[in-house]
Amino acid sequence: MSFTDLLVIFALLLVNFTLLLVSFAFLLVNFAHLLVSFAVLLGACMANLALG
C-alpha cells in the first residue's frame, strides 16, 4: 500500500460519506414535507368540522 493508494481510498470514503449525508438530508426534507402536508390535512379536517 503506497501513500497515494491510501489517499485515493480516503478520498473515496469522504465522497461516500458526503453522499450519505446528502441523502440523509433529502430524507429529512421529505419527512418534514410529509409532516407539513399531514398538518395541513389535519387543519383542513378541523376547519371542516368546526364549520360543520
**5-37: per-residue pLDDT in tens?**
999 999 999 999 999 999 999 999 999 999 999
The C-alpha cell at 30 is: 421529505
pLDDT at 52: 81
Residue type, 36: V
pLDDT at 1: 78
Interacting residues of 40 by C-beta distance below 8 A, sequence separation 6+: none
Residue 1 carries which DSSP code? -
